[in-house]
Structure 1
Amino acid sequence: MTGLVELLDRLDRAVASALSPVTTSEGVSRDGWRVLLMLARGGGRSMGEIASHTALPAPTATRVVDRLVAAQLAYRRTDPVDRRRVLVHLAGGGRAVVERVCGRVERRASEALGPAHTPERAQLAELLEALANRPTATQA
């Protein structure tokens, strides 16, 4: 019987193999993709939020954001509420990358798993959402 840890490891590798060629073709690293996806949820994000969400050390998160800004996929603005803080926002080019990558990966998932709007896919999405929202050992 396959244990949960092994299944999660296999899922991580499957996600990486689905995402990597698509994000690489867009010129975005895996870490850059995670930042873009976070920014696509809306609103500006502080570097602390980005580092925490991506589980990257702050200096690495800064380099990732620097690359996204240089590629005009994201931009920095002073926080209008707290002028001491700088927030990172998704630029139009970044939104286009997110839409293209999501579209291509969704098509691949549909080929592998069947139509997106089935009870099975809804159940899978619900289980994955529950797993993703569970507190980790470091959060508990």
Structure 2
Amino acid sequence: MTGLVELLDRLDRAVAAALSPVTSAEGVSRDGWRVLLMLARGGGRSMGEIASHTALPAPTATRVVDRLVAAKLAYRRTDPEDRRRVLVHLAADGRAVVERVCGRVERRAGEALGSPHTPERAQLAELLEALACQGVNV
């Protein structure tokens, strides 16, 4: 099992190394990136959903969203179904950031991994998705 743990640690560092320069160039922190990526899936998200998804304490998640809103990458709107709730949405500038970052990182990964249309890449994507969906509970 140590091999898997070491591999996951190396993968985490590789992901951070690939994302950090690109997101930093866009003026977005790693936590901000996670929020933008979540918002890019569509629909508005409550602060509770954002905090849960990013595994950030609620006050920290609020500060991250505040920075995204100040940068005009996200915006807040009252939930049309429950006027007591506020939802966070991805702004057009935020969508452009997500597209630029994803494009650059995916091109870089493509250079390292080769063609995106191989059975091995499809299998790797499936395995990573299964791992991400189930999480690793210790």
TM bracket, shorter-chain basis = over 0.9
Q: 5+ residue gaps in structure 2?
A: none
Letter paired with 1:34 = R
Q: Is it true that 1:104 corresponds to 2:104 in the alignment?
A: yes
**One-letter amino acid of the counterpart of residue 109, structure 1:** A
Are 2:86 and 1:73 equivalent residues in the alignment? no
- The residue aligned with 2:23 is 23
Letter of the structure 2 residue corresponding to residue 73 of structure 1: L
1:1-140 aligned at under 5 Å gives the runs 3-137=3-137
What is the one-letter code of the residue matched to 2:5? V
Structure 1 runs of 4+ off > 2 angstroms? 135-138
Percent identity reads: 88
Which amino acid in the other structure matches residue 11 of structure 1? L
Deviation for aligned residue 1:2: 5.8
* Secondary structure at the counterpart of residue 83 of structure 2: coil
Give the superposed CA RMSD: 1.4
Which string of whole-angstrom CA distances, capped at 9 and with x for unpartnered residues, describes residues 2-53 of structure 1?
A: 6111110000000000000000000000000000000000000000000000
Distance 1:98 1:41 in 2: 11
- SS in structure 2 of the partner of residue 27 of structure 1: coil
1: CA distance, partners of 2:54 / 2:44: 15
Shift of 1:135: 4.7
For normalisation by structure 1, the TM-score amounts to 0.95
What is the TM-score with the length of structure 2 in the denominator? 0.97
Q: Which runs of 5+ in 1 are unaligned?
A: none
Counterpart secondary structure, 2:82: coil
